[in-house]
Amino acid sequence: MSQALVLIGNPNVGKSLLFGCLTNRYVNVSNYPGTTVEITSAMATIAGHVRLVIDTPGTNGLIPHSDDERVTRDILLNSPGADVMQVGDMSNVRRALLLSLQIAEHDIAFTLCLNMSDEARERDCEIDTVALSRTLGVTVIATSALRRWNLEKLKHESLAARKSPLQVSYPAGIEAAIAQLQELDLTRGLALSVLAGDETLKPFLAADKLAMFDAIRTATQTCSPQPLSVAIANARVAAVDRVIGDAQAFQTIRGGSAREWIGAITMHPIWGVPVLALVLYIAWLFVGKFGAGYLVDLVETKIFQEHINVWVTTAVNAISLPRFIRDVLVGPYGIVTMALTYAIAIVLPVVITFFFFFGVLEDSGYLPRLAVMLNRIFRKMGLNGKAVLPMVLGLGCDTMATLTTRILETKKETVIVTLLLALGVPCSAQLGVIMAMLGALAPAATMIWLGVTGGTIFLVGYLASKVVKGRSSDFILEIPPVRMPKLSNIAIKVAARTEWYLKEAVPLFIIGTLILYGLDAAHLLGGIQRMLAPVVVGALGLPAEAANAFLIGFLRRDYGAAGLFAMQQSGTLSPIQTVVALTTMTLFIPCIANFLVILKERGMRTGMAIAVFILVYAFGIGYALNAILRAVGANLA
């Protein structure tokens, strides 16, 4: 990896955006060996040299507390020939320097990029980069990846990575232990990690010396009045304060700005609620009305039904293909007339509008503030506000969100959030179809769906917190400043995520359609409908063909929702049936991709228990909802 450039930095410092600026690519993703942690990399020409640029997961230190942080640490230790570029937030230089000191202690050459300099200037929060560079002994460059300011200088200076001579002075006992460990061939950084009790470090240590390392750490701890990890952290904080003073860097934050007022309001336990309601209403208007209403009608009716499907059907009939091939292409369960119509005409417009809206929320800094606001509620479920992040990501894709549960610090939290994601959080495409179907009904229909889904998340989460063993973690989350989203950055994200949807989802739509065609051709589809009739027809009060939506919904839930959408458009579903079907489909067993990830992440026993519970719960709620709505004679039209 002698030509590699490794980007490392704290979360929310614009590192991924800087990666995109350096490489002119948004993603080239692969899993780090032996983990589910995704690493982004791309080739780039920087200062005339072709480099492999690697964007590592955000980390606050090199003593890891999560899989993401461990992977970042491992990449650094496994890449001795790579150049390292640390990316920090100029508005929070103290946090950046805490990481800089640890990189220096591992004897790694690096350059320091202080990003978001435009925001720091707006907040009267400035850093003297020349003085800081002189104190650290490494190159320090101020940049703004958002505005692409000073990037050419950064590219040139990335070739001049140097090792920092700066060292932290630790208490005498710890310094003596460091000296002992260095005599056993450890670097100063590795010695400090051993003393701090980093159990993940064993693959980098000589197995025959582990007992000696433990003995030194135990002996040092007996002479320390506080845990060694705390003493080390305190010494680093004190050293950072001295560096900031010596470098004549200053940070004065002006209070009372509009951005700070907006940031405070969105986190407020009372005023944050109407802000959240407004955000949801805008999402409903943009995704539900514009995306799932106007755009879907335009693409499905004007483009597919009036042109593409007609042209393809005419062309297929004109060349006299065998009947089964014609049916596979343009029949009732045809690849063009069903699979591509569902995937492109119904779901794709919803996916694009949702990804755009979600990108605005990401770049504005609203999502971490939502986590703070909802922390108290999530505490009731044995979680903390950090759990909001994977659950909000679940609105994009439950499968990816399940992987991000690794940011949670305890097994109890990961199990509960995995359950709630699979049970009550619809993915973007499914949510868009749901919005479109509910938009055609009375507002009471939307309130019923929201009430049942939201009540389920809270009730099941609360009960799970009592059943699942383990402890909850403390809530510590970095809050980025409120930002004005940049349209070009959002467009790049939307394009990348849409490309992912087309590659991942469309083939599954085609496979699902072929399965339905095969079952229909073998005269098995009617048998399955009759087998499911006691549940679908008897308990849920739905038409027998709704069984197809639940059957194929296991392959991909938005495909199942799209089937319900087609039934509603054809007049097959009444308003009550629509609400019951959507509620049951929302709570239905996760798609096969999410199910496999759950088995991989949580294990076979826990994964199967989650799937069985969801299946029984979803149909049980559907049965109860159908009985109640019919008993009260609800008018939802």
What pLDDT, in 10s, does the model give residues 85-143? 999 888 788 888 999 999 999 988 999 999 887 766 666 566 788 888 888 889 898 88
Residues 160, 165, 166, 171, CA torsion sign: positive
Do residues 150 and 230 share a domain? no
Name the pairing type of β-strands 38-46 and 49-55. Answer: antiparallel
Same domain, 590 and 464: yes
Phi/psi at 503 (5° precision): -75, -40
Within a domain: residue 255?
A: no
For residue 584, the model assigns a pLDDT of: 92
**d(Cα 123, Cα 593) in Å, to the nearest integer?**
44
Give 117-128 pLDDT, tens digit per residue.
776 666 656 678
* Cα separations in angstroms, 628 against 3, 362, 576: 66, 39, 10
Whether 153 maps to a domain, the answer reads yes
At 1 the pLDDT is 42
> Quick one: 178 and 146 in the same domain?
no
Cβ–Cβ < 8 Å for 189, 102: yes
User: How buried is residue 201: exposed, middle or buried, by Cβ count under 10 Å (0-12/13-18/19+)?
Assistant: buried
Same domain, 24 and 55: yes
Structure tokens belonging to residue 180: 């002992």
Does 231 reside within a domain?
Answer: yes
Same domain, 473 and 620: yes
> Residue 635 corresponds to which tokens in the numbers above?
């008018």
Q: For residue 120, what are the domain limits? A: 4-160
Do 104 and 217 belong together in one domain?
Answer: no
pLDDT mean over 279-304:
80
Are 278 and 182 contained in the same domain? Answer: no
Please tell me the total count of domains within the chain. Answer: 3
Residue in the structure block whose two tokens are 């590192």: 15
Whether residue 54 sits in one domain with residue 118: yes
Same domain? For 81 and 185 the reply is no
- Whether 580 has a pLDDT exceeding 90, the answer reads yes
Task: State the pLDDT confidence band at 309, using cuts at 50, 70 and 90.
Answer: confident
Judge whether 257 lies within some domain: no
